[in-house]
A and B are shown apart, each in its own frame.
Chain A
């Protein structure tokens, strides 16, 4: 019996030691949620439709090129929906060849079907391909945002898929102060394109299109441009080639710099593929203009003076220093596959978070103090048992939280206070039962044994039902509520150990110090 008791005490001391070791120092080991640390939580929807649309359009365009290459002349190839494009006017003589080209070029991702009229075909994206493309778009968006956020210097950001719809992303930036800038960086769809200029710049579109009878030729497009004078918002128009000579994908790096006039500019470096493309285009088009387009706006259109084979180039325009810094960051991180729509934003200032931590800790300590005082008055020395077991419960709970890397949130603090409540409940159940047993003139030892044994089943029942509630709360909850469910869950588990095992051991220690037979008195 005595040896047994020593082992029990050892077990309690070791458990306490491990728990304390796990969460020391608390400022490093206990992770705080955004509501306590301050920061911003953002949920975005990735407009995956856009990525699908681009896929369909590009495929249609490439297929058209391939047909030309194979010598099949068709009337038109055009997208007719998000996932389908229509080919019209396939000459019957070339039908066999058309099918062959289609099989080679697009059959991997598109299903072919005969179209509404003779000699026409409809191509529909395969459902599994569509699904994959959507998933890829989300993954790519996460990677891009991750790069951008990392460059912003936010510590421990979270960027992850969110929800069940498959197209949402959650971005959490703890301690970020300039939320507006962070948001504009995350969402920016800024893309660099360099295209050959066919005509312009002129101040109105009509003049531009006069040589083409007012129609934009199929392989060209009209792009507005800035005037190049700071503060001037008038637009100039350029007629450019539809296909880019260089895109953001050909970039290796981008950084802020200044131009000859000491104005902020973005300098970029092309990768090897970019260099060879750029060298070919500039070599073939000496004397013509190249439009540097950013976000659908021509920033400048320098004249090509000779073949350019070095990888360095520069975007000039009327930028501020902040703009070129952000622009370089966005260009470096690569383009988003689709635009993002904000669906949720929760922002907590650092001062509010700190206030909440202070208030929560104060409330917990005052709560513990009040409860302890009451227990001491009502149960006399046994109240110490309650205090020890509840205190240990909180320590073990902190240890669990630190070990699992669980996030402490504001409702989590409420969970701590409830854990105090649950701890009291178990102790009261046991103490009341011991009193009842003592009232039937049992000896102290039997009363303690009977009290713990009888109440054990009740404690199991109450804890299991509360654990069920906590588990569902965790399963369906979001952010702060999960923090609450976590503390509640582990608080309950720790409570079974402290209220039953620790408290009983304490009683046994007290009883073992008395000679057998004289143990009628128990301070309870």
Chain B
């Protein structure tokens, strides 16, 4: 083993520990009985999970989060498919600027900017919708739209779908038949994996949700923050639930992508 590989492995190990240690601590904390002023909690208990289950505000927040995520998925499906399709064909005709903007948006525009914009616009008498569920859903949909669009766009390019459409056209398929018979089925897997990603981002999203929700429809991460001001074990258990939810989505998403490749 050369020095180089040793170094790479060492750094990977440290980085992995750095990532995993908090998660491990959360897991330990969520089943720990008493955790004050000690390195590790003492005693083992399932109490925190039971408390969580019985806590109405958490159950409500859990439902809110799922509603928001599902709604964002539904809206994105309707928007991203035609958007990605139009961008793909637009880019081939030379107008690739729009496609580049869509791909860069999530990186270039911090989500918090969107939230502040919403706060200004929707806090007026003209549109007094700040704190409403539809507005929260809209924010999540807009926030996650570029991710889904990018996933679809990548697949469109990767499959060289323009060529497949041409082939379908010569075989007698009209534009609509090409879209429904060739484009949609070919994109099925990337659509599903993209939607799982959208759901994962939406469920874990904190910044925008925290600024835009009212007390009535707080999402899970927002309620979670409150928990940390109280009992530590309870908060750990609540975080573990979020973690399981998000990582299950991410795993599902990446395994779907893998299947494709």
Do A and B make up one complex? no
- Mark A residues whose CB is within 8 Å of B: none
- Mark B residues whose CB is within 8 Å of A: none
